[in-house]
């Protein structure tokens, strides 16, 4: 039987595990609980939580005021205030590392910096963070590509923060460019290392095994990225959501299998995949 090796830091990150625990507690103490957007990017875990009583909704207009869970990405302070005003009971599962980005933005705003938020323009975390700029009545821009740097030209004092899941490489490039032509730059590094730890785990394991199996939602950006990295180092890499997708022929005449999983993949799914691999 092939040896099964699990990559360093595979599966749930601290913030997702915490959010799920908070949501589970909320459903235990209430009949109906909603989550603003799916609580994580993993269809199987969302389904499991739904059967426990957590219903994902796209926006608050769909329901009457009730208990509502804010997922780990967080929301803007304006939306939070609106929800409270409408009578919603907020269960805040915002990741503390995302809250640290909100605090960093407010600190830089108070000190008069023009804000550069390195991140994806439509990502829920970024949209929530932008609300803190508005709250502090300060100016800034989201930098998703080098093209966006045009809007930073000529600014004298620039404060830089980042979306928590940003790539370190891109962060380094943008900070380096701005520092070249800006008089004063203050950088608060708000990247969470959960993403890079999982990527390092794949980089370490993928070249050493015959086959790599990457477990996680097809809608999970960080899982897809783990798969891309793995595939570039080991062509026998497969991205699956559940054990049912495993194919016997992937594992013929091999001696080792590497396993990793995205930050939104629950332990029970990883365990099921390992159990199925042992049967093959």
Taking the complex as a whole, the smallest distance from the CB of residue 198 to ligand F3S amounts, in Å, to 9
Nearer to ligand F3S, 162 or 182 (CB): 162
In DSSP notation, 145-158 reads: SGGGGGGGTT-SEE
Q: How many CA atoms lie within 13 A of 266 on its CB side?
A: 19
x/- track of binding to ligand F3S for residues 128-167 (CB under 6 A): ------------------------------------xx--
Print the binding letters for residues 199-238 with ligand F3S: x by CB under 6 A, - otherwise: ----------------------------------------
For residue 115, the cross-strand partners are 140, 159
CB of 128 closer than 8 Å to CB of 76: yes
Stretch that binds ligand F3S, among 94-102, 148-156, 211-219, 239-247 (CB under 6 A): 94-102
**Count of C-beta atoms within a 10 Å radius of residue 170:** 17
Instruction: Go through the chain and tell me how many residues it has.
Output: 280
125 is catalytic: yes
Task: Find the shortest distance in angstroms from Cβ 241 to ligand F3S.
Answer: 19
Beta strand 54-57 pairing with 89-92 = unpaired
Residues 6+ apart with CB under 8 A from 153: 181
SS3 247: coil
Rounded Cα distance, 103 and 97, in Å: 10
Report yes or no: 212 and 240 within 8 Å, Cβ to Cβ.
no
Instruction: Check binding of 97 to ligand F3S (CB under 6 A).
Output: yes
Q: From the DSSP assignment, how many helices (H) and strands (E) are in the chain?
A: 9, 12
Closer to ligand F3S by CB, 42 or 164: give it: 164
Q: Which of 80, 125, 144, 241 is catalytic?
A: 125
Residue number closest to ligand F3S, CB atom: 15
User: Whole-number minimum distance, CB 223 to ligand F3S, in Å?
Assistant: 12
Among 7, 70, 175, 192, binds ligand F3S (CB under 6 A): 192
182 near ligand F3S, rule: CB under 6 A: no
Binding interface with ligand F3S (CB under 6 A): 13-16, 72, 95, 97-98, 164-165, 192, 194-195, 263
Q: Active-site residue numbers?
A: 125
């Amino acid at each position: 039987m092939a040896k099964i090796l699990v990559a360093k830091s595979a599966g749930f990150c601290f913030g997702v595990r915490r959010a799920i625990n908070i949501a589970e507690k909320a459903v235990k103490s209430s009949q109906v609980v909603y989550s603003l957007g799916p609580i994580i990017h993993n269809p199987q875990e969302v389904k499991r939580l739904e059967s426990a009583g957590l219903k994902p909704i796209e926006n608050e207009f769909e329901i009457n005021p009730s208990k509502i869970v804010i997922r780990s990405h967080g929301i803007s302070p304006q939306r939070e205030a609106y929800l409270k005003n409408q009578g919603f009971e907020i269960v805040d599962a915002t990741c503390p590392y995302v809250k640290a980005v909100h605090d960093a933005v407010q600190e830089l705003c108070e000190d008069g910096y023009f804000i550069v938020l390195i991140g994806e323009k439509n990502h829920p975390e970024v949209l929530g963070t932008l609300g803190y700029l508005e709250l502090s009545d300060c100016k800034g821009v989201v930098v998703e590509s080098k093209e966006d740097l045009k809007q930073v030209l000529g600014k004298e004092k620039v404060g830089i923060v980042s979306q928590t899941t940003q790539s370190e490489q891109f962060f380094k490039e943008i900070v380096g460019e701005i520092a070249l032509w800006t008089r004063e730059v203050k950088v608060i590094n708000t990247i969470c290392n959960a993403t890079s730890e999982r990527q390092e785990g794949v980089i370490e394991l993928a070249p050493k095994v015959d086959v790599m199996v990457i477990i996680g939602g097809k809608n999970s950006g960080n899982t897809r990225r783990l798969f891309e990295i793995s595939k570039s180092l080991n062509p026998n890499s497969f991205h699956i959501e559940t054990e049912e997708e495993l194919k016997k022929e992937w594992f013929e005449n091999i001696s080792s299998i590497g396993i990793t999983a995205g930050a939104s993949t629950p332990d029970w799914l990883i365990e099921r995949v390992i159990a199925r691999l042992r049967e093959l």
